[in-house]
Amino acid sequence: MKLTPDQVAAFERDGYLFFPALFSPREVQVLLDAVPALYERREAINVREKGSDAVRTNFAAHLYSAPFARLARHPRMVEPVQQLLGEALYMHQFKINGKMAFEGDVWQWHQDYGTWRNDDLMPGPRAMNVAIFLDEVDAFNGPLMFIPGSHRRGVIDARHDTTTTSYPLWTIDHALIAQLVERAGGRAGGMVSPLGPAGSMILFHSCLVHASGSNLSPWNRVSVYLSLCAVGNHIRRHQRPEYIAHRDFTPIECLRDDCLLAAPPVELPWRDGVPASAFVTSCEPLKETT
């Protein structure tokens, strides 16, 4: 899968690209079928919604679930990111966000790179967010909202919000959001929500400002959020547990395009549980190795 020059230009201008129905219904089903068992686990890898049992986000499934391990090496996902960043990639973060029917809470306005820089000492924004819809996304089940072009603003000052939801987040001041939306076209395109069937994929810049509303609908909005980082841009601190911010900077090697259905064997290093070492954290920067 090779992006056209127009797609590359659109990404640079808008900060995102949308690929409706990139994965087939059968491929999606393989992934979706694996989710309930992951969400059942009463472990730190599952963050639940405030005051509810619904899973808000599950971490690192690519290390203990075969279908998600394959998705993490899927060429339809990895190759365009590699093309845009022009470097070998490692997996920085892997989440399955629930945004469950009736229960899914908001994600406030933020840039992902803000968190990665502040918490993980990731040197630059040479990293990409990928969202893959496991459910149809419509106007009612809490779609992602982007401010097109906001990635060109670079890193924006943020405030650590630890109270609004169950997940601490570096969030952006409302006055600045209003200004960015206005500059992006106000009510004529200043905010956009890519909507589409299950299997759709969004690539978005790690500085693109985004948010999502609550899900009051009867439809889950489960999405996989993968964050791929250029190997040379790997994080420099292990302040967060390894299941949140990965520490294995080995370049991703793609599987074949049919891997979700052909189901070749994959390594699952955390098959028997999250290792104790993954919980060891430190505020000290890593020693640079040369």
79 binds its own copies (CB under 8 A): no
**Encoded tokens for 255:** 């599987």
101 binds its own copies (CB under 8 A): yes
Q: How far is the CB of 84 from its own copies (least distance, A)?
A: 27
Q: Quick one: which segment of 79-87, 114-122, 153-161, 176-184 binds its own copies (CB under 8 A)?
A: 176-184
State the DSSP string of 22-45. Answer: -S-HHHHHHHHHHHHHHHH--STT
172 binds its own copies (CB under 8 A): no
181 binds its own copies (CB under 8 A): yes
Residue 165 or 281: the one with the smaller Cβ distance to its own copies is 165
- Sign of the C-alpha dihedral computed for residues 75, 76, 78 and 80 taken in this order: positive
213 binds its own copies (CB under 8 A): yes
Instruction: Output the 3-class SS for 136-172.
Output: CECCCCCCEEECCCHHHHCCCCCEEECCCCCCCEEEC
User: What separation in angstroms does the CA of 63 have from each of 4, 55, 74, 166?
Assistant: 32, 18, 15, 24
Q: Quick one: which segment of 69-77, 177-185, 248-256, 281-289 binds its own copies (CB under 8 A)?
A: 177-185
**Encoded tokens for 271:** 């098959």
Q: How far is the CB of 191 from its own copies (least distance, A)?
A: 5
Residue 7: name the closest of 83, 76, 73 by CA: 83
Q: How far is the CB of 129 from its own copies (least distance, A)?
A: 18
Q: Are strands 16-19 and 201-205 parallel, antiparallel or unpaired?
A: antiparallel
202 binds its own copies (CB under 8 A): no
Question: Binding to its own copies (CB under 8 A): which residues in 104-163?
Answer: 106, 108-109, 136, 138-140, 142, 145
Of all helices (H) and strands (E), which one includes residue 223? strand 223-230
54 binds its own copies (CB under 8 A): no
Q: Pick the binder of its own copies from 13, 26, 159, 174 (CB under 8 A).
A: 174
Q: How far is the CB of 142 from its own copies (least distance, A)?
A: 8
**Encoded tokens for 238:** 């292990």
Residues of the shown chain interacting with its own copies in the complex, contacts defined by CB under 8 A: 101-102, 106, 108-109, 136, 138-140, 142, 145, 174, 177-178, 181-182, 187, 191, 193, 211-214, 216-219
